[in-house]
């Protein structure tokens, strides 16, 4: 008999995640799409996910690739990052999803989102975020 490990995410009764727009995933570079999907799945009821070594392992991506993917999401307003001590919290900007609510057939006419080249989110100070 094979035992499976399962990850359980407990949500507050009054919180429901918005559906992830496939149009957004289609426009993101593959690294950023994979990373964002994991952040989305692992986000808890307060819409945040900790950027940690575990997240890197779950994504099966290097730290550099995850940093660039996260910076791409930040630069495009999809995710924000708050630093608290030595950790970073990724917060999904669900309001941004509205920009991707067009018909799926229109996706081919849209410009793809470009992968960021410079990682700047590591420069923020404690208890601040990139929007500050």
Band (pLDDT 50/70/90 cuts) for residue 19 is: confident
Band (pLDDT 50/70/90 cuts) for residue 17 is: low
Helix axes 30-42, 63-75, angle to 10 degrees: 80
Q: Residue 35's closest CA among 55, 20, 15, 18?
A: 55
Average pLDDT, the chain: 82
Q: Is the pLDDT of residue 63 over 90?
A: yes
Report the relative pairing of strands 48-51 and 87-92 from DSSP bridges. antiparallel
Q: Residue 129's closest CA among 89, 92, 93, 70?
A: 89
Place of tokens 């690294």: 31
């Amino acid at each position: 008999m094979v035992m499976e490990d399962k990850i359980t995410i407990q949500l507050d009764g009054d919180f429901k995640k918005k559906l992830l727009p496939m149009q957004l995933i289609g426009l993101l570079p593959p690294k950023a799409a994979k990373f964002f999907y994991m952040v989305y799945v692992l986000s808890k009821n307060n819409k945040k996910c900790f950027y940690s070594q575990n997240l890197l392992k779950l994504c099966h991506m290097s730290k550099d690739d995850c940093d660039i993917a996260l910076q791409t999401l930040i630069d495009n307003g999809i995710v924000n990052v708050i630093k608290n001590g030595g950790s970073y919290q990724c917060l999904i900007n669900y309001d941004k999803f509205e920009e991707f609510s067009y018909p799926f057939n229109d996706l081919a006419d849209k410009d793809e989102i470009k992968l960021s080249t410079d990682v700047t989110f590591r420069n923020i100070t404690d208890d601040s975020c990139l929007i500050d």
